[in-house]
Chain A
């Protein structure tokens, strides 16, 4: 028989790190990486970095390991990779495209705010239940 605490709604909400939180971590890390790319826009031979998260999530979802019951990626969920491609318009070995990075930065903070809203919504639901719908 399974212990009661493991799969109750409350413990699932409070004590497990679910998909949303992993996505939030990824968005935060991505913000850091984009900041690093922007900071090194004039550094010779710097190669831009990216964060892989959606790839891990996709493969987990395809394999069926993520379902309603288990909503988190087990093991490694994100990774920083270097983009080795050469820029076609720069001669200093740097491949940071500042317009692209600024667009990614804006998109990433919107994604982050969305995730924050979803997590707040989860807590709001929980609070609603605790109050008995009043």
Chain B
């Protein structure tokens, strides 16, 4: 329970949501990429979130009671960016330079509608965290007014 702990919690979520937004933009940008550096079509990427646990100070390990007391945790962290293993979409287009001998082109497994929905979800989560940060800020400023 420090003065700036809640600021750090909200800030960690802001950067996590921004990274999620970056990856969604990358997915949308590559919706038609049939050839990446290793020759395969582009695979959709997904960001994994994990709760960031606070490292308890030594004194808090001493008793069960104090261990449960003030450990809020310290926000959220990105545990990894993984590739979506769902199969590629197959489209018949013999004129495409990446088509195989049967005229099938393998397209990325990016669903544009899913990406747009996730983008809105990331935007709203970002806004919610900005609101939380502003609430913490106004509370901290208010505390300075004690005894004025």
**For chain A residues 24-75, which have a beta carbon within 8 Å of chain B?**
25, 27-29, 31-36, 38-44, 46, 49
Query: For the complex, is A10 an interface residue (Cβ under 8 Å from B)?
Result: no
B27 at the interface (CB under 8 A from A): no
Give chain A's interface residue range (CB within 8 Å of chain B).
35 or more
Which applies to chain B's interface (DSSP): helix, strand, loop or mixed? helix
Q: Within B90-128, which residues are at the interface with A (CB < 8 Å)?
A: 121, 124-125, 128
Q: Which residues from A are CB-within-8-Å of B12?
A: 39
- A36, A46, A76, A78, most chain B CB atoms within 10 A: A36
Asked whether A79 lies within 8 Å of B69 as measured between CB atoms, the reply is yes
Bound Cα distance A108, B135 (Å): 9
Closest approach, in angstroms, between the C-beta of B11 and any C-beta of chain A?
A: 9
Q: State how many residues of chain B have any CB contact under 8 Å with chain A.
A: 41
**B34 surroundings in chain A (CB, below 8 A):** none
Whether B10 lies near A116 (C-beta < 8 A) is no
Instruction: For A101, list chain B residues within 8 Å (CB).
Output: 128
Q: How far is the CA of A40 from the CA of B76 in the complex (A)?
A: 6
In whole angstroms, what is the CA distance A36 to B41 when docked?
38
Contact of B148 among A38, A49, A76, A120 (CB under 8 A): A120
Contact call B1/A25, Cβ cutoff below 8 A: yes
A120 contacts which of B16, B71, B145 (Cβ < 8 Å)?
Answer: B145
Interface residues of chain B, those whose CB is within 8 Å of chain A, are 1, 5-6, 9-10, 12-13, 16-17, 20, 49-51, 65, 68-76, 121, 124-125, 128-129, 131-133, 135-136, 138-139, 142-143, 145-148
